[in-house]
Amino acid sequence: MHKVSECGILLRGYAKEEPEVKDVVERLRRSAMRAEELGFGRIVILIPEDKDCGKTYDTLSAELPNDEFKNVFIECSRGNGHSDALNTGVEFLRKSHHSPLFVVSNKALEYMVPKNVEKILASFKEGALVAGLAIRDSDVAEGEDEGYLGTLSGRISNTFAAWDTAALHAAGNFDSVIGVEEIAPIVRLVAAHGPCIAPLLPTGQAAINISALRAQHHDFVITTKRTRQEQEAERAGGSFELIERGILAGYPK
């Protein structure tokens, strides 16, 4: 089974306005410290330049000095804050030979615990090329929680996901412009490899922690997620049915 030290993890954050920098940096700092405690080999923090006010990088660099946080790398990325930012990190980790690569949102920090990381790594031993935790949003009824239900149906979310780095690269990395960047590579992975998706129920269901700065954006993401995922699946030449057929036997579990 893969060791955590062989894996990389991608974190993302940006501050639209300078007064937001302190909050964004603190959330990123907490996530980076948790990832370091878990033993990740490379921790890459991505700051989308086109979304940021220009102050986050310097402030975060002061909070996480290189001589103290040797496994943490802060990268600025150009282009959209979804696929382009992530691809900067994917290529960084691919070239440093870290796989699987994890993508974790700061709002899912409470799920970043050893048992959940171990469950994901175990799924790669069983043939997964992409795995993710089905995280519940306690503010939404279970039957209406598209993030949770979608993940159980194979539509893994980068709220807490892991990808085989080489397979993701071969599938063209992320290329969505509508914010559901996971769907197209999932379709391509299934088309190329057959069943390779591992939806996982996390150990415990903690509350997701939505930043007050992102509450309105989160509402938009949740209410439009399914429609955008359908559009992306079709664009990539697939469907929800193809994705569901791509779930590994015995999963979700």
- Mind listing the pLDDT tens digit for each residue in 49-84? 999 999 999 999 999 998 889 999 999 998 877 899
Report the pLDDT value the prediction gives residue 210, as an integer from 0 to 100. Answer: 58
Q: Record the pTM.
A: 0.94
Taking the alpha carbons at both ends of the chain, their separation in whole angstroms is: 18
Element (H, E) at 75: strand 72-77
Report the pLDDT value the prediction gives residue 221, as an integer from 0 to 100. Answer: 65
Report the pLDDT value the prediction gives residue 141, as an integer from 0 to 100. Answer: 80
**Rounded CA gap, 63 and 252, in Å?**
39
**Rounded CA gap, 39 and 36, in Å?**
5
Domain spans, the chain? 4-245
Helix axes 215-235, 183-193, angle to 10 degrees: 30
**Rounded CA gap, 34 and 110, in Å?**
9
The CATH number of the domain covering residues in 4-245:
3.90.550.10
Report the pLDDT value the prediction gives residue 222, as an integer from 0 to 100. Answer: 65
**Rounded CA gap, 161 and 86, in Å?**
13
Taking 60 as the threshold, does the pLDDT of residue 212 lie above it?
no
Q: Where does the pLDDT of residue 211 fall: very low under 50, low under 70, confident under 90, or very high at 90 and above?
A: low
**Rounded CA gap, 209 and 231, in Å?**
28
Q: Which residues contact 22 (CB under 8 A, 6 or more apart)?
A: 59
Q: Where does the pLDDT of residue 207 fall: very low under 50, low under 70, confident under 90, or very high at 90 and above?
A: low
Taking 90 as the threshold, does the pLDDT of residue 4 lie above it?
yes
**Rounded CA gap, 194 and 206, in Å?**
32
For range 207-223, the mean pLDDT: 58
Half-sphere exposure of 28 (CA within 13 A, CB side): 29
For range 247-251, the mean pLDDT: 98
